Amino acid sequence: MHITYSSDIQREDWRHVLEHADLANIFHTPEYFDMQTTIGHGLAYLCAYIDDEPVSVIAGYRNAFGYHAGLLEIGTKSGGYPLMIAHYDQHPDADEIKNAMIAEFARRELEGQRFVFYPCFHMQTCLFDDPEWECVKQLDATAFLDLTQEERVLWKNLGDKGRNMVRSAEKQGVTARIANELPYFEQMYHFYRELGERQQRGYIGYDELRLKFDAFTQNGLGDLWVAFAGERPAAFAFIWKYKRNINYVYQSSDPELRSYKPNNMLVWKIITFYKQQGYALFNLWGLRNMHLSAHAEPGDREIDGYGKFKLSFGPDVRELARYVRL
């Protein structure tokens, strides 16, 4: 097995890996990183070749500004790296091959750098567990809902409380639909920023999120869903799409309209709509707010309302880890 590496970006090779990797999602794509570089962030990229076939990629971006300025981010709660084509991802030596690639990427990109690294879900061991890398391992979990289940099973998974909240919203006249128009994005962002400020946590700047909204909705990679209480927008969810997967990425709601239970209704409509469209997996993302710090946080810490809301839809929970060096 002859392995070589290249930092030269060959989009056809990148797409070859995406096409043949079972774990590929929107956050691994060139389009996602095009948005990051368009607004000024720097791209870090490495492709591995076995016998001249592109088999794996690692991609991240170096934040040029914002609350993570100077930090190199590699991977997300939606999936980590190396992203590898299925044939080698299932190989008995997969961890050895992936760790060798991580070592090569680290040699080229991570020396003296602050970074966050999410390893591939399928990895059992990771190079960054070695103390010489001076990384903190932070544990979390993310939630996935299988949309191939029958609708009656998905409905049952909501439990009595969840189903009653959806029924309550419907009785109060709450409706939900895709609304990929700028005025609705503006309102979504207003409540998103307001919540970030109120909770004193970081949030994405307007220009960056607007760029993602424009690029993804115009290219069929995203939908902005809005729940309406009468004529008033009450809750928002920005859904990203790739292959047969959807991702629950950004969301916000009007606190004055909380009594209408719009969020439960909104997510249920999203579930049923994309199931009917043939999507197979709904990635609800993480269950805890992860704080960027040089200290490990206990993996068994309590899940707050943010995560409990996602769990109310009956997803499967997948444990994950990330490595932080600050």
229 occurs within a structural domain: yes
What would the two tokens of residue 170 be?
A: 């419907």
Q: What is the DSSP string of 138-155?
A: EEEEEEEEETTS-HHHHH
pTM (2 decimals)? Answer: 0.90
What would the two tokens of residue 167 be?
A: 């029924």
**Which of 76, 106, 134 represents a domain boundary (last residue)?**
134
pLDDT value at residue 65:
86
What would the two tokens of residue 69 be?
A: 């300025």
Q: How many domains does the chain have?
A: 2
Backbone angles phi, psi at 98, to 5 degrees: -65, -40
CATH number at residue 283: 3.40.630.30
How far is 93 from 91, CA to CA, in rounded Å? Answer: 5
What is the mean pLDDT, run by run of 10 residues, along the chain of 326 residues? 95 98 94 92 97 97 89 92 95 95 98 95 94 92 95 96 96 98 98 90 88 94 97 97 94 96 97 98 82 56 79 92 93
* Whether residue 187 is found in the same domain as residue 312: yes
* Whether residue 181 is found in the same domain as residue 126: no
* Whether residue 152 is found in the same domain as residue 298: yes
pLDDT value at residue 90:
87
- Domain of 255, in residue numbers: 144-320
pLDDT value at residue 141:
86
Residue 287 · residue 306 · CB < 8 Å: yes
